[in-house]
């Protein structure tokens, strides 16, 4: 009798959660519960929005909330996109269209037993997932989300910037923070006292450190064109001229895109956690929320990396005919913010689509792409850009495209004339000895 009653109750709860009207009403109620108190108390805290010290802190809190929430949304989006590419349904049991699946996954991680193996280096073992998540979250501080805003109650001519920190070394800060991301993975693999985890950590070290070199070369090319390392000035220049830097430096964008895949350990560069060889890689011994923090860090890295690429190559919040650098109203700020989020979402979906499109590289192929492909190409691109800057042609679209086209043609000619065979076997391995029958 109890079993029948339990089954009926469970079925009734499932049917309720799958009703889209229930989710819509719940979202409206929760939204009203959050927004109504904020609106009622608005006269008491609006001065914080116009204060140049407190407003960046508010932006930091809001963006942290958005990025952490977006990681849960990204997990559901990736599972849905994977099911679409593989011609199946994907998560569709928890809530209407599976929209409550991220909540179920989060609850599952919280309730799972947190196991720490006996032979691990416990302090480092506990620190590794924290480092992986924190280094992915602090990189967004330099991103100019929506330019300047002038609130109606502010004195004429005063504005505040929708950016956590405006640093003189903005892009250098991003490179420094990005280089710290390897520590979470390598320390997790080392502290696990597991050979598979250790191999995953060593692969991550070689991969992430190697791909930072072509990443830096490509970013230097962009910085030569822009003449500044401040991301907000780079975005403002693109918005003022109406010309995004991806048109000046398409090869630099390609190199940065590939290196971002490698830095985030995303397919086809996910050798650090290749399950066919390493069981689970650097996170094999992790469970519960420590395991979840690694993946939250991965998705946060994707979101932050996408936001950086949007700022450097795709005009940030700029959109022709929709946003303008001269518009500093709060409505204009909301439009700019939505434009920026839409561009970042497009990049995140692209990252997810590549996962189910391109197979994983072999490790020697991974290193060969970096050191024999992207590094020489990055050096040539930097030299070509320096020549354009010396001639004063760095903002000449046809000169920049011509330089990129010449590099592309030379790369294709070199590749076509290469005598190194493309095989499925590593070239420096000994020959296979065939025993006589």
Using one digit for the tens of pLDDT, what is the confidence trace for 153-187?
Answer: 888 888 888 888 888 888 888 888 888 878 888 88
Mean pLDDT of 135-140: 84
> Which pLDDT band holds residue 3 (cuts at 50, 70, 90)?
low
Using one digit for the tens of pLDDT, what is the confidence trace for 77-132?
Answer: 888 888 888 888 888 877 777 788 888 888 888 888 888 888 888 888 888 888 88
Buried b or exposed e, range 181-216, using 16+ CB within 10 angstroms: bbbbbbbbbbbbebebbbbbbbbbbbbbebbbbbbb
Give alpha helix (H) positions in 180-319.
181-191, 195-226, 231-241, 245-248, 250-263, 275-278, 288-313
What is the DSSP pairing of strand 148-149 with strand 160-161?
Answer: antiparallel
Q: What pLDDT is recorded for position 122? A: 85
DSSP structural state of residue 271: G
Neighbours of 32 (CB within 10 A): 11
Q: pTM of the entire structure?
A: 0.88
């Amino acid at each position: 009798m109890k079993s029948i009653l339990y089954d009926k109750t469970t079925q009734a709860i499932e049917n309720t959660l799958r009703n889209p009207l229930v989710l819509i009403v719940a979202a409206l109620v929760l939204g009203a519960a959050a927004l109504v108190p904020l609106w009622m108390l608005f006269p008491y805290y609006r001065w914080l929005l116009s204060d140049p010290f407190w407003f960046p802190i508010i932006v930091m809190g809001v963006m942290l909330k958005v990025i952490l929430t977006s990681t849960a949304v990204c997990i559901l989006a990736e599972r849905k996109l994977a099911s679409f590419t593989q011609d199946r349904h994907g998560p569709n049991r928890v809530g209407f269209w599976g929209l409550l699946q991220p909540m179920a996954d989060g609850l599952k991680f919280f309730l799972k037993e947190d196991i720490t193996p006996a032979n691990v280096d416990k302090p480092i073992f506990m620190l590794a997932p924290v480092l992986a998540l924190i280094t992915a979250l602090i990189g967004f501080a330099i991103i100019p989300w929506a330019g300047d805003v002038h609130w109606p109650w502010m004195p004429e001519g005063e504005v505040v910037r929708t950016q956590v920190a405006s640093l003189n070394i903005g892009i250098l800060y991003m490179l420094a923070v990005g280089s710290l991301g390897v520590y979470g993975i390598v320390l997790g693999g080392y502290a696990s006292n597991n050979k598979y985890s250790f191999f995953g950590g060593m692969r991550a070290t070689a991969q992430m450190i190697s791909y930072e070199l072509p990443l830096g070369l490509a970013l230097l090319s962009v910085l030569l064109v822009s003449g500044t390392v401040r991301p907000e000035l780079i975005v403002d220049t693109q918005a003022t001229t109406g010309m995004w830097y991806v048109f000046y430096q398409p090869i630099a964008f390609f190199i940065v895109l590939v290196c971002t895949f490698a830095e985030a350990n995303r397919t086809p560069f996910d050798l650090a956690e290749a399950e066919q060889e390493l069981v689970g890689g650097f996170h094999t011994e992790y469970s519960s929320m420590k395991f979840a923090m690694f993946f939250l860090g991965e998705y946060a890295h994707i979101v932050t990396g996408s936001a950086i690429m949007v700022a450097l190559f795709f005009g940030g919040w700029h959109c022709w005919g929709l946003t303008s650098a001269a518009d500093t109203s709060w409505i204009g700020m909301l439009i700019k913010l939505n434009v920026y989020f839409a561009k970042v979402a497009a990049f995140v979906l692209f990252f997810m689509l590549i996962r189910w499109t391109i197979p994983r590289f072999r490790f020697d192929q991974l290193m060969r792409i970096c050191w024999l492909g992207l590094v020489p190409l990055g050096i040539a691109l930097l030299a070509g850009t320096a020549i354009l800057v010396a001639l004063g042609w760095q903002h000449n679209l046809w000169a920049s495209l011509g330089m990129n086209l010449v590099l592309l043609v030379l790369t294709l000619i070199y590749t076509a004339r290469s005598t190194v065979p493309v095989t499925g076997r590593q070239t420096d391995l000994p020959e296979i000895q065939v025993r006589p029958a």
